[in-house]
Amino acid sequence: MIVRENPSRSSEVVGQVEVACPATVDRVVRRAEAAYRRWSATTIDERLAALRAGADALTARIDDLAVLLARESGKVRADSAGELGFSATYLRWVTAHAGAVLADDEVDDAAGRLILRRRPFGVIAAVTPWNAPIILAMLKIGPALAAGNTMVVKPSPLAPLTISAVVEILSAHLPADVLQVVHGDAEAGAALVGHELVAKVAFTGGGAAARHVAAQAATRTTPTVLELGGNDPAVFLPDADLSPTAMERLVMASFATSGQVCMAAKRLYVPDSRHDEFVEAYVAAAGRVLRTGDALADGVTMGPMINAASVARVEALVAAAVADGARALPLGGTDPGTDLDGGYFLTPTLLVDVPEQAAVVGEEQFGPTVPLLRYTDVEDVLARANAGELGLGASVWSADEERAVDFARRFEAGFVFVNTHNRTGLTLRAPFGGVKRSGYGREYGEEGLREYAQTCVIHAPAAFRPGGTALAANAYPA
């Protein structure tokens, strides 16, 4: 049994779910395979109508589900409601666009008849994380089901409750076994990813777990989509806007969900000539928008971390940087009604005078601290920003959009934001995903829809039609 505690009040049990043994996983996948035969035979209009009904039902439950999500994950209630609402919005976007994106393409001309069909894979295994458990599952559920696949979701043991409720809500508008959930740790994950009837795996999470998932899937040559972590640089060019609104946007880009976001701004680069001005503006902005406390408390904008191990890891990164000469500037305020000792709370910090070789610079912090680094040469800062194995997101800030875009073209990142970062810079129409060791495959946009359909071809060459020129038996195509 997985028992989930409240990160804001660690002595409080929020709920529990039953762990699926390999035999249970096998039964669930086999039910999904049987359902696939029926679901894939329906029209796409029927599938999209069911997903629209599910989106409406999810919208009606946002308020109570937001409380549950805040209690099990520590994500503040407003952000929890926002994630749930955005998940429904994304599902509706899928229903508005999937019909055209997944339709067959057909050409019939002098060269012959060519049909490109976009067909489902079968049973999709989705392995999802705890930091944004609803939207990161929905990015897989929506496209997969629209394309005619069935899906089994294995959520993180650290946030199993709300996604289970969401799956139940959506499943009420779907045929039996089209969408199912199983819970567990590595054993359940391995049983799901390595199952002989799983046709594709979609994973979001950390690099170490991704390597295990990819290796397990490779034993059956099962294709995968991997959306992994990032160590996103935010580069401020000399003419960047440091106004209060820009700085508030940047602060939340680093500290939303207590910094536990793959595409958070994790390294800040500022011109040496504007360093002190930047620090003053940043600290002031944090004072206005950051308030640490219980995820359900009114006015709180940053809740606890997910567990004690995460707190200890970030504390160690900050301590090591300070030992190497950095200064840790505490940010924002705290909710006076919250018992900070009763949960997994950590004061957000801006690290200044950080050595380039510090672990907090080279590693993904995934917590409420961010290093500030100086530069004097634009070419040098580009090289430093591109250093490392990860390449998920990045941002460039400048009063001159054209200059910013020219700089952005040279980032080694899958998604580059201009004058913003993190969720305020996303758009449903743009594919999202990483380069280098930040994964492969894409979510969002038309590419995210096509990840769950495979292109199959029907070709009738004109040469072999009655009256055609024909070709020799060993001829190459012209």
Helix (H) or strand (E) holding 234: strand 233-236
Q: Which two tokens stand for residue 311?
A: 């707190």
3-state SS, residue 390: strand
Q: Exposed, middle or buried by CB within 10 Å (0-12, 13-18, 19+), for 184?
A: buried
C-alpha 301/C-alpha 295 separation (Å) is: 8
Q: How, if at all, do strands 390-391 and 435-436 pair?
A: antiparallel
Tokens 């492969």 found at: 440
Which residue, 440, 163, 381, is CA-closest to 432? 440
Instruction: Please give the full DSSP string across 329-345, using - where no structure is assigned.
Output: EE-SEE-TTS-GGGTT-
Q: Supply 20's token pair.
A: 């699926």
Q: What are phi and psi of 323, to 5 degrees?
A: -65, -25
Choose, from 5, 262, 443, 451, the residue flagged as catalytic: 262
227 is catalytic: yes
Q: What are the structure tokens assigned to 19, written together?
A: 């762990």
Annotated catalytic residue, options 5, 227, 412, 451: 227
Start-to-end CA distance of the chain, whole Å, equals 63
The question of whether 21 is a catalytic residue gets the answer no
Nearest Cα residue to 62 out of 89, 39, 43: 89
| CB 94 within 8 Å of CB 143 | yes
Contact 29, 181 (CB under 8 A): no
Cα distance between residue 441 and residue 357, in whole Å: 31
- 297, two tokens: 């408390």
Could you tell me which residues are beta bridge partners of residue 372? 268
- Rounded to the nearest 5 degrees, what angle is found at the Cα of 468, between the Cα atoms of 465 and 469? 140
Question: Where in the sequence numbering do the catalytic residues fall?
Answer: 227, 262
